[in-house]
Chain A
Amino acid sequence: MKINIQQEDNYTNIGFDGAVDLSSSSDARKNIIEILEQNKNILIDLSLVNYIDSSGVASLVEGYQIAKKLSLKFGLVGISDAAMGVLKLARLDQVFPIYNSKEEYEKDCA
């Protein structure tokens, strides 16, 4: 899995590319937590995720809960079909803030 991080004006955009699974989810988790610990809003791009397992989903849940605790804006964008299938199975598509575009998240962040 590759991780792409982009600093924007008032948030950090982090994208995962490949499989977010047991062998890579600890990296995903570490990066998400690092961003939030810097007190930054976070937008997670899942458009290039071709597989996510329950450990990857757990990293997202943990990030969501930390962001909530710190009153930071957490969002998911560009969710691939593979990732959405798993989020739906976990009924988390009704829990996570999901944005149709980066611009929509930016408006919400402003």
Chain B
Amino acid sequence: MSTEKLFQIRFLAKAERLSLVRVLVKEMAESVGCCVELSEKLVIAVNEACMNIIQHAYKGDESGEIVFEMLNNEKELHFRLVDYACPIDLNSVKPRDLNDIRPGGLGTHFITEIMDEHSMGHLNEGEGNYLNMKKKIN
């Protein structure tokens, strides 16, 4: 089974950049056959993943960079996000109890609900983190 890299982009960790990321994910997901409903859900998960990097990895440092790529192996879409911030505490990233009604903490829940699989870790070369997410499309 061949894997096609649909695109790779590198952008600054700025909130204003996320509207472009959302458009790219939606258009690309629909172009490989995802229905509108699934495409919109994928947009939510990717947007939240980027927000987590901006807010928690770079802590608002807008000079930080995010590399995002989207791949298609015909059965699944793969999303890979890489940042070059200090390694985050992986144990601190978990979905919160939804019965605990409070502002914040929903991003990881959205990713868990929408994606079939996700994994995160530190880059080998030193500083930085990655997040891989997968979603079946057929």
Contacts and interface: CB of A to CB of B under 8 A. Distances in A.
A and B are interacting partners:
yes
Nearest to B22: A51
B125 interface: no
Query: Chain B at the A interface: mostly helix, strand, loop or mixed?
Result: helix
A24 to B, nearest CB: 8
* A55, A57, A92 pick with most chain B CB within 10 angstroms: A55
B40 A54 contact: no
Interface size class of B (residues with CB under 8 A): 20 to 34
B18 A85 contact: no
A61 B103 contact: yes
Nearest to A52: B44
Interface stretch (A15-23, A40-48, A71-79, A101-109): A15-23
B2 interface: no
B106 A57 contact: yes
Given A23-B15, A89-B44, A54 B102 contact: no
Contact of A23 (B16, B43, B105, B109): B16
A98 interface: no
Contacts of A65: 101-103
A51 B104 CA distance: 17
Contacts of B98: 90-91
Interface of A: 19, 21-23, 51, 53-55, 57-59, 61-62, 65, 82, 85-86, 89-92, 95
Given A23-B16, A65-B101, A89-B109, 16 more contacts: A23-B15, A54-B104, A54-B107, A54-B110, A58-B103, A58-B106, A61-B101, A61-B102, A65-B103, A85-B41, A89-B110, A89-B113, A89-B114, A91-B98, A92-B101, A95-B101
19 contacts: A21-B18, A22-B18, A22-B51, A23-B19, A51-B22, A53-B48, A53-B51, A54-B107, A54-B110, A55-B51, A58-B103, A61-B102, A65-B102, A85-B41, A89-B110, A89-B113, A89-B114, A90-B109, A91-B98
